[in-house]
Amino acid sequence: MSAVTRLDEWADAPRAIRIVHDIPGRLRLRLPPGASTAGLQGVIDGLNGAQSSVWSPRTRSLLIRYDAGVLTPAEIAQAVAEHADVDPPASSADSPAEEGRSPVAAAIVETFDGVNERVTRRTRGRLDLGMLVSVGLVLWAGRQLLRGPVTSLSWTSALWYAHGLFRDYTAPPRGR
pLDDT digits (tens, 9 = 90+) for 43-93: 888 899 999 888 888 888 888 999 988 999 989 999 998 888 888 887 644
pTM of the model: 0.47
- Cα 107 from Cα 161, distance rounded (Å): 23
Mean pLDDT by 10 residues, the chain (176 residues): 45 70 86 85 89 85 89 90 84 48 69 80 82 85 78 76 70 52
Question: Which pLDDT score, from 0 to 100, does residue 11 have?
Answer: 46
Q: Show Cβ contacts of residue 136 under 8 Å, excluding neighbours closer than 6 positions.
A: none
Q: What pLDDT is attached to residue 110?
A: 76
Q: Can you give the pLDDT at residue 108?
A: 74
Partners of 125 in beta bridges: none
Residue 96: DSSP 8-state: G
Q: What is the pLDDT of residue 24?
A: 85
Cβ contact 90:19 at 8 Å: no
Per-residue model confidence (pLDDT) at position 66: 92
What is the predicted pLDDT for the residue at 102? 64
Please list, in sequence order, all residues whose beta carbon lies within 8 angstroms of the beta carbon of residue 102, skipping any fewer than 6 positions away: none
In the prediction, which pLDDT does 2 show?
46
Comparing C-alpha atoms, which of 146, 149, 120, 144 is closest to residue 132? Answer: 120
